[in-house]
Amino acid sequence: MKREWFALGIVALLVIVFPASLFGYQAWRTNSSDARVIDVIASSPENGGWSPDEIRVNVGEHVRLRIAAPDVVHGFEIPALDVRVDEILPGHVQEVEFVATRAGRFPFACTRWCSVNHWRMRGVIWVSDPAQPALPAPTFAPPLYQQLRIDIDAMHPAQNIPPRKPSAARGAQLNLRVDADFRTQSPDAVFAKLRADAAYDAYDDQQLWDAIAFAYFQNVGAENIANGARRYARDCAACHGERGDGQGPAGKDLPGLTTMHPDMPRGPANFTDASAMLGASDALLQGKILRGGMGTGMPEWGSLYTDADLWSVVAFLRTFTFDDPPAP
């Protein structure tokens, strides 16, 4: 009789106490904090993408996102609110807490390469202010390439190609001052201006290029290049390649390649191509990143990147044509 009660006790433990404590613990965790819990499922775009892909919260509200990935590794980022989770592994629930401090409509996106359609995996978070129901009007200035009326779909080959790859280290030793606005002028245009200037006649072409490389890197700063490098590795290298040669594994079979204009080089841009890179101003490169498209299916980064991020990626792209960037 005693043993029977003992057995019954074990059964009760398994059937009632164990599940009750599990669910009770979850309920206690949810209710004991003032955070609003939102469950988010991250699946590859072909399996439905973010679910939900629209999140609505209030300003000042304490929000806890519980993110699960049932298929492959994903990442999560709301760039505007500085919320990010680098790795959501299948089988683990990742939690992230934040308090939205400003109202608006902000995109969020996956940050890990989860499928060929990875870049389509985006969603929107609406942050509304109960005291002020209307969203603030977006402050919008047209990007620099539009202000300058640059046609970012045309080729802009450089007229002058350096004999060797320009090196900032060699340029540093020249002690040559180069005053130029690199955002609006291509390195090629800067070179042409210096070459035409009699004050630089003492220097040969290679020396002028080295000086331009040095001046460019001095101008953008090591920190920007490092930030650009991180973003390039995360968001660009899959198609454009780790070495910037346009040979990334994900860029070989893009949907738009067959319909690309025959005059344009096919596939992801090759950043080691001196003619294309030196003929392009920073504003042009920024416009391309910001808008995307190009007939290849390149995503637009304007909605996910801040202006500073875009410029820092451009700064990093220059390291494929200019040697010896400054170390951070």
Partner 1 sequence: MTKAALSYRHTHRFGIAASAVLLMLAAILVPLPAQAYTPRAHTLQINARAFAFEPGSLSVRRGDTVTLVLEATDTVHGLYVDGYDVNLVAEPGKSATATFVADKEGKFKFRCSVACGALHPFMIGELNVEPNLPFVRALLLTLVGGIGALAFFWK
Binding-site ranges for partner 1 (CB under 8 A):
44, 71-73, 89-91, 112-116, 118, 233, 236-242, 248-250
Smallest separation, CB 58 to partner 1 (Å): 35
CA distance 161 to 174: 20
Smallest separation, CB 46 to partner 1 (Å): 11
Token pair belonging to 228: 């650009």
Q: Closest CB to partner 1 among 52 and 249?
A: 249
Question: 25 exposed, middle or buried (CB, 10 Å; 0-12, 13-18, 19+)?
Answer: exposed
- Among 209, 210, 231, 229, which residue's Cα sits nearest to residue 221? 229
Smallest separation, CB 287 to partner 1 (Å): 22
Whose structure tokens read 């109960």? Answer: 130
Smallest separation, CB 119 to partner 1 (Å): 11
Smallest separation, CB 299 to partner 1 (Å): 14
Whether residue 200 contacts residue 208, with contact meaning beta carbons closer than 8 Å, is answered with yes
- Among 75, 159, 155, 157, which residue's Cα sits nearest to residue 118? 75
Smallest separation, CB 163 to partner 1 (Å): 31
The pair phi, psi for residue 227, each rounded to 5°, is: -65, -45
Q: Closest CB to partner 1 among 162 and 246?
A: 246
Q: Closest CB to partner 1 among 80 and 229?
A: 229
Smallest separation, CB 266 to partner 1 (Å): 19
Q: Closest CB to partner 1 among 9 and 249?
A: 249
What's the angle, vertex CA 327, arms to CA 326 and CA 328, rounded to 5? 115
Q: Closest CB to partner 1 among 122 and 193?
A: 122
Q: Closest CB to partner 1 among 127 and 289?
A: 289
- Among 7, 253, 292, 301, which residue's Cα sits nearest to residue 152? 292
Whether residue 84 contacts residue 155, with contact meaning beta carbons closer than 8 Å, is answered with no
CA distance 24 to 103: 35
Q: Closest CB to partner 1 among 44 and 321?
A: 44
CA distance 306 to 82: 11
